[in-house]
Amino acid sequence: MGQANPPSLTTALEDQQPNDWSQPLCASQYLPPLDSFHPIQEMKETRSGLDITPLGVSINLSTPDDIDSMQLLDCLLQEIRMRCGSRNNRPVHLLEIHLQASNLETAGITELVYHLGRCFRLAHAGAHHFRAHLTLDQARETTIALLKGLGFNQLFLHIDENTPGNIEQLNTALSLSQRYQYTNTALKCHYLSPTTETLLNHAQQAPQAIQHIELEALAEDTEQHQRFFALFDQLRSAHYRVLGNDCFVDPKHPLARAQMNNHLRLTPLGYNTVNVSDICGLGLGNITREGRHFYRNTEAFETYRDRLSADRSPVTHTLTLSQQAILMQRIINQLLCYHQLDLGYLESRYQVNSTQLRDILKQAANGHSWFQDSKTHLSLTPQGISHLNHLSRILSQSQLETGYF
């Protein structure tokens, strides 16, 4: 996506078959490949803006082992001041703070969120998704109470190979989430093993049954694929509604209702119901998306610190999507959000060659029953939904005939 001359469909199909274990499993958190970003010497932040559409903000608090957390906090405060200039008219309806690899103390978290509220227009309660990401080991009462007091209303509990947690910690986190009246508690799994599967099974049967499960960046090997497809079938059988192929929510969850009512949004931060498409990414290696433009911060702390100290943007790489890539992204997002394509609409709105689009998708399916095809719509079957990652890659690497641009 975003390359001037993407490979032909034939090449893409030869390189990426549905059983290619080298490919990622999860489709929803789609970003252009990092190696497609172009290095830049300098990016100037504008100081004015008339855009008032909702904005998302993501803060990466990951702290390198050899760096004092207060040094990172000072840099983040500088970046917030720098980045808010052209965005301070935009209400922030989606906020994510990632604490999983952070050693920032509660006072530092409080200072950070307070400073963010001074520089950005944080939305009022009831009109926002403010998500705190942490591991089960971090889900202690002092932290959960603090985050609720700071305005966060959603908890995302991360389970990975290094910090899987245990049932006691999960029970504690779910109980605290209910006590402090978080509106959504999600489990986010980065690795599937017997331990994590036990936790997932327990979460579905606990008194405070989990309503939201996400799979992200699973290890790319045969065992993970087998576990993924088994879990996919299990969660569907338990009547979870599927968003993309890696997000499972209770049918009464706001995300499920948004999917049914056709007003679901998908960003690099996942799905939301608050009409957020653009994301301002703060912190090491974080990515900003504004329309067709993507910007990536440096991942090196020394460069990050030195640039901000010199009042320079920490953005070191950028990417602007072509019109073709934007069109393909819209098609991919329709499949991820709603598991179907309205071919009549695509023909009339974007002058898409629906016959060619059908051929691309059917060739990608490679003889599998991934679609139900009517005259004006293509709908994914459960098997097609589970392979959305493969379909998304093929679409992103294909050229589609259109008279729209």
Q: Are 306 and 109 in contact (CB under 8 A)?
A: no
- What percentage of the chain has pLDDT greater than the value 90? 59
DSSP string, 130-192: EEEEEEGGG--HHHHHHHHHTT--EEEEEE-SS----HHHHHHHHHHHHHTT-SEEEEEES--
According to the model, what pLDDT value does residue 28 have?
A: 60
Q: Are 98 and 59 in contact (CB under 8 A)?
A: yes
| Residue 297 CB burial class (10 angstroms; 0-12, 13-18, ≥19) | buried
Q: What is the pLDDT confidence band of residue 160, given thresholds at 50, 70 and 90?
A: confident
Q: What is the pLDDT confidence band of residue 48, given thresholds at 50, 70 and 90?
A: very low
How far is C-alpha 224 from the chain's CA centre?
20
Domains of the chain (ranges, CATH numbers): 9-30+323-396 (1.10.10.920), 50-320 (3.20.20)
pTM for the model stands at 0.88
According to the model, what pLDDT value does residue 390 have?
A: 87
According to the model, what pLDDT value does residue 41 have?
A: 75
Q: What is the pLDDT confidence band of residue 207, given thresholds at 50, 70 and 90?
A: low
Between 178 and 126, residue with greater pLDDT: 178
Which pLDDT tens digit goes with each residue over 352-361? 999 999 999 9
Which pLDDT tens digit goes with each residue over 359-400? 999 999 999 999 999 889 999 999 999 999 889 888 888 888
DSSP structure class, residue 44: P
Q: Which stretch of 54-63, 85-94, 141-150 has the lowest confidence by average pLDDT?
A: 85-94
How many Cα neighbours within 13 Å face the side chain of 364? 25
According to the model, what pLDDT value does residue 10 have?
A: 31
According to the model, what pLDDT value does residue 9 have?
A: 31
DSSP string, 241-308: EEETTTEEE-TTSHHHHHHHTT--EEETTEEESS---EEEEESTT-EEEETTEEEEE-S-HHHHHHHH
Three-state SS at 53: coil
Between 370 and 31, residue with greater pLDDT: 370
Q: Which stretch of 84-93, 105-114, 330-339 has the lowest confidence by average pLDDT?
A: 84-93
According to the model, what pLDDT value does residue 121 have?
A: 92
According to the model, what pLDDT value does residue 219 have?
A: 60
Q: Are 318 and 389 in contact (CB under 8 A)?
A: no
Q: What is the pLDDT confidence band of residue 45, given thresholds at 50, 70 and 90?
A: low
